[in-house]
Each structure stands twice: as C-alpha cells, then as structure tokens.
Chains A and B, each alone.
Chain A
C-alpha cells in the first residue's frame, strides 16, 4: 500500500508519464535508493530473467573475446589462460587462408550489393504499381514465404531444381542437351549463392520499400499528373525522392555488413565446393575455432571483423550525413 501511494503521489497530475517517457519526473531522483527499490521490486523481479540472459550470453560472450589476446587453454578457462598480446592477430594476418576468405567475402558481398540489393526495390516498385489490391496481396503472400524457410531447406530446394539429378538437368537431358554443372561447381558458386539469397529474401525485402512507397502523399502524384508529368517524371520527381532516405539507410547498413554475407547459407555449401571458392570469413572462424580448436585465432578473426564493421557503419553514416541524408536511425 505504501509503495502504491508513493508512486501515485509522484505521477505528474495531468499528463500521464507514458506519453513522454523521456521526461522523467524530477522529484524521483531525490528519493533514497532503498525506497525506490522497495517500490519497484515487482518490476525488478520481472526484469531479472532478461537481464541475466543479456549478462551471461551477451556480456559473457563479449568478455570471452579476451581470448583473442590469449593462448586459450580450455582446462584453465578464459581468465587464467596466459596473455599473448597480439600474437593471434599477427598469425592471422600472415595466414593466406584468412586473406582468401576475406577476399571471397568481399567479392560475394560486392555481388550481393550489385544484384541482391536492388532486387527488392524493383519488385516493390512493380508491386506498388499494381492497381488491384487482391492481386498485390496474393503476390505478396507468395513472395514473403521463402523468408520463413530455413537455409537447410532452401539449399535442398535448389539441389532438387538445379542439381545434377535435378529438374533442370532432367529437362535439358530430355531435350537432348548436355547437363549443366551448377551445384557443387566452384565456378558457379557465386552466381548460385546470389540467386539463392535473392530467391529467399527478395520478397521480404520489399516490405520496407513498400512502406515507404505507400507513405507518399497521393496528392503529390495527383498534382504532378495535373501539371502534365508523365509516368517517368512522376517516378523521378515524386517516387524516387520519397524512397531515397530508406534506400540510403539500407545501403549504409549493408556497407557496414560488407564482411558478413550470411553464415548458414555458406556453412551448408562450403564443403560441396571446397574452401577455395566456398570459404567466407564466418566459415573461416567456424573451421579455425570449432573445427581445428584454434580458438584464439578464430576469435581474433571474429573480433577484427566486428571492429571493421563498426568502423564501416560509422563512416558510411558520416558520409550520408555530409550528403544531407538522415542516415541510420537513432535508436530509441
């Protein structure tokens, strides 16, 4: 009872606090900590499982990154393993396999940027141009579906369609043509993984563009049309400016993630094409760390990747600001 009345006494009389969460009641700070804890104990108890989760599995893992600077010995644990300074990093940087994986990653990311990035935008524009709601909803529900399918299944589907005993080669065979070697062929690997990610995520990727497109004020189109603007000019002067912030925002996020091309997809197919074509940084971390037990070097690789990613997002955001764009969202 005491707790309740204190809480009510403090709430600003007219405005409910939920309307503006940032304006915390000024008097609250002066209350002794013990009373505040006693007042909020129920909420603190509700927080507990979540806070524990973050402390153990996020901050614990963050702490585990220390082994990038250590000679990790599993028996004595992260803390007691001897420090080795930058040794893991120097051995990593002199490892040709690492550079190879880095090159594969960057070039696949480049191809993704070129082909996978614009695909959802094109599909969104096509969907948005449809006049019929029923048709649009139908197409949307079809193209969103692959997003929810696991990579294991996506890989299996591609094998069944494009594999050596798959539909494509069967049809080619029936037509008397020679088979095409796609699955498991290192030379075809890059186009294959790009095709897969487009198949899986292109539809889902339209959501954010469609949201931006539907937010465009209809009157702008109307006014443009009345002024005699044709389809192209309406697109250029109304549609494009409206979606530009979203496109730039996604582009920034994508640039920051240039060292991440997706893990599961590559983990599943790396052995089929061999490390020369199939190794990317994330699979390199996996095979170095969990595969060969060199935890220190693997962690160093992961850490370096994360750090470069942060720098990239930060710089891309800076450039966007300089260009007068909004850039990455400010997290609430």
Chain B
C-alpha cells in the first residue's frame, strides 16, 4: 500500500499516522452511519423499532414487513414507477438533445453556429428564475403534465459544454474521410463521433439520470395532481411533513410508521447507490476532472 511513496517523503511519525487514521475513520463513519441506520430501521421488526423509540442500529430479527406494507399501499409503487419513467424518458431525451446540439456546435464554420453558441453560453449568466420559469410552463400548457418534469430541464449547459469539448477532440481527418465516403452528418455522429465518446456520453447520461431521479421541486410546483408525483416528492410529503401514507390505511399506523418511512427512504436511495459504482468508474478516467477544469 505504501509502495509508491516517493523516496524524499519520509515515513510520517506514528502520531501523524494515528491522527490521519482517526480522522479518516470518523469521516467515513459519518457518511456511512446515516445510511446504515435507515437500512437497519427499515428491516427491523416493527415491534423492535417501536420499543427502541423509532430507530435501530443493529436489528435483532430481520423483517421485511415494512417493505411489503409499502408495496401494498400503492402510493409508493406508483411514485416509484413515475420516477423510473421520468428518469428513463428524461435521460434519453436529454441525451439526444444534448448530443445533437453539442455535435452541431462542435463542427467548425456551421452557419449560425457562433450565434447559437453565444445564445447558449449567455444563459450561464442568467439561469432561469423560479417565477418566470413557472409562467413559461403555464403558458406552454405543460402545467400538470409529466412533460413539465422533463422539458424545462432538458439540457444542462454544463453538460452541453463538456460534451462539445469532447466532440471537438475527435480528429477532424476521421470526419472528413467519412464525408468523402458520402456519409451524412447524422451517420458521422452515430458511427464515428459517438462511439469515440462513449465515456463522456455515459457520464453525462448518468448525471442526467441522477438529476431526474432526485428532482422533486418541479413536481411540487408543476404537478397539481399529487397522484402524479414521483417518489422524491411523495417522500418529502411524509418524511419531512410527517403526513401519513395516504392509502396504506391503519395497517401502516399499527405497523410502526417509522420503519415504513425508512423503507421508503431506502427505496428512493437504492437506484442511486446501484448506479453509483458506474459513475465512480469514470472518476478514475479523469473525464470529470478534465471537464471541470475547462
């Protein structure tokens, strides 16, 4: 582990090493512990959760009744389905729009290209404010439509700039050669540029997916009908406002709402944790650090 310590760097003293070890352990525990306790509380028996006052760190017996309760209720199942749908459709739409625009802006000398680029970069200075965006959504007839969760956030300027930078690094000779062979722009994009940019497309796609999965505020302001709400918006309703699960009925109340709440928190977190190792893989490739620096 310490094999790659440069020769000039002396081995730190035991005091320093202990201090570092303690600091790192504390940091790691502070991050992991909250996750640990929600999972533990969600899989403990409801009786144990109640007896212990609402939380469990090490469950004595495992029980998945909180999860079966949640799924029987319907609200959460529905909200999870909405979230999944928004995430899948939204990510696909965002990726397509971002890739198309990034590619067109990466080609030099396109008619109107500079103007569009300025138009896009200018929005960095004036991100859309809450109330005007709300009015746009209302006036375009998106209010109370699922599309209101996707279209207003279709393209992230940062993602677009990163993508464009990556596309620009694709060797121009390749593109010109393909053009000589009679390939059109769409073909060049899908057959040459995109296969060479898999890493950046994956990263940007994951970023979009995480953002869609996590978003709740747009749902709260744009969707009047709360039965359309995604999981994060529903979760906010009764985690941070203490509201009961609307149609899981009395069964829930008997069955320790705390463990049920925690089960919902776990389910809202799981997709992120599952996808995380994939995001993590790209950090090592330096895709992100390179992008952030630019």
Contacts and interface: CB of A to CB of B under 8 A. Distances in A.
A159 B172 contact: no
Interface in A15-46: 16-19, 21, 24-25, 28, 33, 36-37, 39-40, 42-44, 46
Contact of B131 (A50, A156, A290): A290
21 contacts: A28-B109, A36-B111, A42-B186, A43-B113, A47-B100, A53-B97, A53-B151, A53-B154, A132-B2, A139-B28, A141-B280, A143-B28, A148-B276, A153-B268, A160-B34, A170-B55, A225-B9, A226-B8, A263-B217, A285-B130, A306-B126
Interface secondary structure of A, over-half rule? helix
Contacts of A51: 101, 116, 119
Nearest to A183: B240
A310 interface: yes
Nearest to B239: A156
Interface stretch (A91-99, A110-118, A185-193, A297-305): A297-305
B195 interface: no
Interface of B: 1-2, 4-6, 8-9, 20, 23-24, 27-28, 30-35, 37-38, 41, 52-55, 57, 96-98, 100-101, 103-113, 116, 119-121, 123-136, 138-140, 151-152, 154-155, 160-161, 165, 168-173, 175-176, 179-180, 182, 184-186, 189, 210, 213-217, 221, 232, 235-236, 239-241, 258, 261-262, 265, 268-269, 272-273, 276, 279-280, 283-284, 288-289, 292-294
Given A153-B235, A161-B33, 5 more contacts: A78-B135, A165-B54, A199-B30, A207-B283, A208-B293
Interface in A67-94: 67, 74, 77-78
A180 interface: no
B161 A332 contact: yes
B131 A298 contact: yes
B244 to A, nearest CB: 16
A46 B269 contact: no
A133 B2 CA distance: 8
A25 B175 contact: no
